[in-house]
Amino acid sequence: MSPGDNSLALLFKQTARADRGMYYDKDGEMLFIRFDEQYRESLIMSEQIQGLGMRPRFIAAIWMEPSPACFRAIMAVVLAGGIPVPLHAHSTAAETLEIMHRLEADLLILTPSLLTASDRPDAWQSSARQIIHGGITLMVGETGEEWEGRVKPIRRREWREYTPPEETAVIFMSSGSTGTPKGIMLSFHNLWSNLFSIHQSLQLDDSDSVMITKSLGYCSTLTGEWLLALHAGMNISLSPGLTHPLQLIAAVRRMRPTFLCAVPAVMLPLIKSTRWRAEDMQSLKKLIVVGAAMPPSLLLLLQGRLPKVEIMPCYGLTEAAPRVTCLPAHWLSSKPESAGRAVPGVELAVYRDGKPLPAGEVGEIVVKGANVMLGYYNDEPRTTEVMTPYGLRTMDKGWLDEDGCLFVTGRADNAFNVAGHLFHPEMLENVLLSHPAIREAAAAGVPDDATGYRPIAFIVPEEGGLGVETTLLRELRDYCHQRLAAAGRPKEITVIARLPRTKTGKLDRMEIQRMVEEEYDVNRTRSIPIGENGH
Residue ranges and CATH numbers for the domains of the chain are: 8-163 (3.40.50.980), 188-412 (3.40.50.12780), 415-529 (3.30.300.30)
DSSP 95: H
**Four-CA torsion 159, 161, 164, 165, nearest 10 degrees:** 90
Q: Three-state secondary structure along 4-40?
A: CCCCHHHHHHHCCCCCCEEEEEECCEEEEEEHHHHHH
pLDDT band at 147 (very low <50, low <70, confident <90, very high): confident
- What is the pLDDT of the chain when averaged over all its residues? 87
Contacts (Cβ under 8 Å, ≥6 apart) of 76? 42, 43, 45, 46, 48, 49, 144
Q: How confident is the model at residue 464, as a pLDDT?
A: 57
User: Could you tell me which residue, 206 or 113, shows the higher pLDDT?
Assistant: 206
Phi, psi of 53 (to 5 degrees): 80, 35
CA distance 234 to 514: 45
Q: Tell me what pLDDT residue 453 has.
A: 80
Task: Please tell me what DSSP assigns to residue 345.
Answer: T
Higher pLDDT, 53 or 234: 234
- Which positions ≥6 away from 54 have C-beta within 8 Å? 60, 80, 81, 82, 106, 107, 137
52 burial type by CB count under 10 A (0-12 exposed, 13-18 middle, 19+ buried): middle
Mean pLDDT in residue range 134-161: 71
pLDDT single digits (tens) 387-410: 999 999 999 999 999 999 999 988
Q: What mean pLDDT do residues 464-484 have?
A: 76
pLDDT tens, position by position, 433-449: 888 889 889 998 888 76
